[in-house]
Amino acid sequence: MSKLYNIENSDALKAKRLLANEERITLSFYAYAKILNPSFFRDHLYIILSELDVCGRIYIAKEGVNAQLNVPALKFDTFEEAIRSISFFEGMRLNIAVEKNKFSFFKLIVKVRPKIVADGLDDESFDVTKKGEHVDAKKFNSLADRDDTILIDMRNHYESEVGHFENAICPDVETFRESLPIIEDMLSDKKDKNLLMYCTGGIRCEKASAYFKHKGFERVYQLDGGIIEYARKVKAEGLENKFKGKNFVFDERMGERISAEVIAKCHQCGKPCDDHVNCTNDACHILFIQCESCADKYDNCCSKKCATFTALDDEEKSKLKPKISFNGTRFGKGRYKALTADEELDLS
């Protein structure tokens, strides 16, 4: 009987895969479809992918599938054939990462969720099939240049901080579900304008475009394939690249460069930097931007407090941990701008 879960130690698995040093391809895809038995489909998909040594993260719900994967290059054709054999994946786009040969995942996780994207919407209250018009990179650029177009970034603040399109409105939100009512209120008197939206690979715009059409926006457009496909098209077709900086991605890479500009700053010293990291202190683990100099100064931590705590032995950590609030336990993801890196740890 084929296994249905990966139970190997994560650190050991990561070390083994890095040692193998094989060429792998990172990609993402999504498909909205009616899945009557998500748990059964989950097990079926896990068996197919694990046999091909695919790594990644997949969410399955009654509404469809959302996947970010890392596939051995030598098995890619077999992988694609297996995926395409599933009816609602047949004509689906595979968004291949801009940067190749980087390990983005080290194990396979397939989970059943209520939704493939946490949007907070009641899908029964509007027609989710009446989506905005998909536009390719060329038409996206043309629309973005028009005075009657409003360009909206449908991603979170820590994503747009390191990279976004020129003149885009970037809501200061931590989750996708937060952005929808904020954008609706912000543009309540502009429903006759072109509403042009984009996200990483397109999945958030699929639902958002239908939602905004339901709310009375007359001309709604979404970037086909998201930033990932846009980067590929502008390079292949010699188009102007209107995206500045990095495209944040939710895997080990933390981002892939789309243009040479560095538009963000180190959260600790303020120098130009767009490298996201997680604080090495597991009791904190906050996501923030850190340059190499500050990584050395703070031992890859977000503060002196975390660096001091990390250096303690396990017994001391266990005693102190319940008494301390670290940056990652007090603030949301990436809210490092509100913190003080030089705060000392009280060992009393």
Burial of residue 281 (number of CB atoms within 10 Å: 0-12, 13-18, 19+): buried
Q: Is residue 4 part of a domain?
A: no
Comparing 222 with 328, the larger pLDDT belongs to: 222
- The pairing of strands 64-72 and 24-32 is antiparallel
2: confidence class by pLDDT, cuts 50, 70, 90:
low
CB atoms within 10 A of CB 199: 23
pLDDT tier at 19, thresholds 50, 70, 90: confident
Residue 108 sits in the same domain as residue 128: no
Residue 324: HSE in the Cβ half-sphere, 13 Å Cα cutoff = 24
Query: What's the pLDDT score for residue 98?
Result: 80
Mean pLDDT in the chain? 90
Whole-number pLDDT of residue 129: 80
Q: Evaluate whether residue 263 is within a structural domain.
A: no
- Show the domain range for 333: 276-338
Q: Give 137-190 pLDDT, tens digit per residue.
A: 999 999 999 999 999 999 999 999 999 999 999 999 988 989 999 999 999 999
pLDDT given for residue 347 in this prediction: 67
CATH number at residue 175: 3.40.250.10
Mean pLDDT of 216-237: 95
Please say which residue of 225, 245, 265 terminates a domain.
Answer: 245
User: Which segments of 168-325 are extended strands (E)?
Assistant: 194-198, 219-223, 243-247, 256-257, 276-278, 287-289
Query: Is the predicted pLDDT of residue 1 greater than 50, yes or no?
Result: no
The domain total for the chain is 3
Q: Select from 66, 86, 112 the last residue of a domain.
A: 112
Task: Tell me what percent of the residues of the chain surpass a pLDDT of 90.
Answer: 72
Statement to judge: residues 93 and 160 lie in one domain: no
Q: Whole-model pTM?
A: 0.85
Cα–Cα distance measured from residue 187 to residue 170, given in angstroms and rounded to the nearest whole number: 13
Residue 144 located in a structural domain:
yes
Give the pLDDT score at 120.
Answer: 84
Q: What is the pLDDT of residues 242-300, one digit of tens each?
A: 999 999 998 888 899 999 999 999 999 999 999 999 999 999 999 999 999 999 999 99
Mean pLDDT of 79-95: 93
Is 201 among the domain residues? yes
pLDDT at 211: 92
Q: Are residues 159 and 200 in the same domain?
A: yes
pLDDT of 126 reads: 79
Mean pLDDT on 42-60? 95
pLDDT at 336: 64
119-140 pLDDT, tens per residue? Answer: 888 878 778 788 999 999 999 9
Domain check: are 238 and 145 in the same one?
yes
CATH of the domain at 64: 3.30.70.100
Which of the residue ranges 14-23, 36-45, 272-281 would you say has the lowest mean pLDDT? Answer: 14-23
Q: Which residues are catalytic?
A: 199
Alpha helices in 65-175 (DSSP H): 76-84, 137-144, 157-160
